Chain A
Amino acid sequence: MKEIGRKIGIAAQNIILLLFSISFIFPAIWLFYSSMKDKAEFYQSPIALPKSVNFDHYISILKSSNITSWILNTVRNSVTTLFFTILLGFIIGYFLSRHRFRGRRFLYGYFLLGMLVPVHALMVPMYVLFTKLGLHNHWYTLILPYTALSLPIAVFLVESYVQSIPVEIEEAAAIDGSSIHRTLFQIIMPVCKPILVAIGIIQFFYIWNEFTFGLILVDSEALMTVPVGLTLFRGRFSTDYPRMMTAMIISMLPAVLLYFGFSKQIMKGMVSGAVKG
């Protein structure tokens, strides 16, 4: 009897987990197959599979909307932001970790503050600041807040990673006559590669999905990011669900491919970011 009870328990656990997993993935699948239906077919039964496989919506959306430029904008924001975040975060994290100087503790707390500040508290003043200085509505506009807001996590991850590197490496380099500049970029930076990659992964998803600053700091349609652009679609296709769903699939695609390609590394990176941050 006990054995049967145990087996039922195991089966129940397996089923519960499966149900949750299905719920996590089903909406994406629903979007995907619904994007192949036309309007009438969708409204007849929102849940049924499409009668035929066709990608007409994809072609028409790519042709008729700005979605490709939104994707390019977002990619440009991501690449530039990651470059500056990793470079500046690495430098600050390294010096905070290795060198004792006055104001070190203060600086540490100062960056910690950045992780606790809710970004929406910065919304209004940043809008005012950017419009007054003429910084809004440029291709570089969003790189400014994205980099600054990515810096704290980068600084902390590098700081704790550098602590695990033996200081002898730098001492040996110094004895061999390597300057601090060379030690920093040619010796320490390569050693830090794993954590720099992790930072890149975490912040890529942040930038790809960021909405608030994209909404308030940029209003020309040519400079919009993907999430903000998507909200424009709703106004236009409010009654055309399959088209809307197609746009959503296109907007998700880069992140989805990246995720399923590197899910292990991504999860590891995210956890280290969450726990250490």
Chain B
Amino acid sequence: MSNCLNVKKRTIFLYMLPGIFWYSFIILIPICLAVYYGMYDWSGGISMTFTGLDNYIEVLKDPVFIQSLKNNIFLTVVCLIGQIGIAFALAMMLNGRHIRFKGLHRTVSYFPAVLSAVVIGFIWSMIYDYNYGLINTFLEAIGKSELTQAWLNNKNLVLLLAALPLIWQYIGYYLIIIMSALSSVDPQIFEMAEIDGATGFKRAIHITLPLIKNSLIVCVTLCIAGNMKIFDHIYVMTQGGPGAASSVMAMYAYKTSFLSFKMGYGSAMSIVILIICLVLVGASQGLMQYFTREKEGRA
């Protein structure tokens, strides 16, 4: 078809050049620079000492980095269950025939997703606040003031508490994706299942789930990719503290580079983060495809 339109290759090339150049300047060049700086012991000044792969090896041994990676993985798992699980359950309910205010529910549920992470982080810090937070106010109101605490300073709870806003903010996002997948399924399938006596739960697992699996794969991939780059929420709520209890990889890379000025080490960490993310997203996609194929084979 390009013969018919007969456009010179040079024209195509010239048209695309500005975009490709701009994109490369921001994506490709910094990655190459990071690989390069990662091989130096460098604190942003003039003195740079070549150290080869030492930085990269050190990152992999760094206990705070490992802790941060674990926290990222924890957040991902909690969010996979919380965001996609709750979104799926709500979508199943919203798809029922006897639900009121369907449009309103959809609009409102997506609302937190259009707010900035900074605002979300502040709102939830105010909810968790020791003196005037909503949780402690509520606990005092019901006479359980002995349970009040500085929630975000509790190092056993902090990560879970940091996960709540994430889950809460993005339920609507996954809800809308799942709803749009459901709307493309032939409603007769649901009616037939109902006539055959499939109850709500069974219907959800055995009929709906397989029908929208492609959209669910998209959700899982988005969720993993999204949680690997968590930064804004944590920056606003806890800065990774107390200690490294709620630190995530991006937070640690930020602190290392911009607060401790270990630019070389921070660059190496960036590259390690990049590789981890690409591997995890790739692996998750492969796994999901493998599993769904397996199921089809059995059915």
Contacts and interface: CB of A to CB of B under 8 A. Distances in A.
B93 interface: yes
B7 A180 contact: yes
Given A24-B172, A31-B123, A205-B114, A99 B93 contact: no
Interface residues of A, number: 93
Given A21-B105, A25-B111, A271-B176, A230 B94 contact: no
A184 B218 CA distance: 32
B90 A227 contact: no
B216 to A, nearest CB: 11
Contacts of A43: 131-132
Contacts of B198: none
B114 A274 contact: no
B130 interface: no
Interface in A114-150: 114, 116-129, 144-145, 147-149
Contacts of A267: 106-107, 110, 176
Contacts of B273: 118, 120-121
Interface residues of B, number: 95
Contact of B132 (A91, A125, A149, A241): A241
A191 interface: no
A48 to B, nearest CB: 10
A91 B123 contact: no
A212 B111 CA distance: 22
Which secondary structure dominates chain A's binding surface? Answer: helix
Given A121-B270, A226-B116, A149 B236 contact: no
Interface in A257-277: 259-260, 263, 266-267, 270-271, 274-275
A68 to B, nearest CB: 17
B267 A120 contact: no
Interface string A12-51: 0110111011011101101100000000001101110000
Interface in B170-226: 171-173, 176-177, 180, 200, 215, 218, 222, 225
B277 A116 contact: yes
A25 B93 contact: no
Contacts of B122: 230, 234, 244, 248
B232 A17 contact: no
Contacts of B11: 180
Contacts of A14: 98-100
Nearest to B100: A14
A147 B116 contact: no
Contacts of B133: 46
A27 B164 CA distance: 14
A122 B222 contact: no
Contacts of A126: 26, 30
Nearest to A7: B98
Contact of B2 (A84, A100, A274): A100
B18 interface: yes
A170 B5 contact: yes
Contact of B236 (A101, A117, A170, A231): A231
Interface of A: 9-10, 13-14, 16-18, 20-21, 23-25, 27-28, 30-31, 42-43, 45-47, 84, 88-89, 91-92, 95, 98-101, 107, 111, 113-114, 116-129, 144-145, 147-149, 151-152, 155, 167, 170-171, 174, 180, 184, 205, 208-209, 211-212, 215-216, 226-228, 230-231, 234, 241, 244-245, 248, 251-252, 255-256, 259-260, 263, 266-267, 270-271, 274-275
12 contacts: A10-B99, A13-B93, A24-B111, A24-B172, A89-B19, A95-B16, A101-B12, A116-B277, A148-B25, A215-B235, A241-B126, A266-B114
Interface of B: 1-2, 4-7, 9, 11-12, 15-16, 18-20, 22-23, 25-27, 29-31, 33-34, 37, 44, 86, 90, 93-94, 96, 98-101, 104-119, 122-123, 126-127, 131-134, 137-138, 168, 171-173, 176-177, 180, 200, 215, 218, 222, 225, 228-229, 231-232, 235-236, 249-250, 253-254, 257-258, 263, 266-267, 270-271, 273-274, 277-278, 281
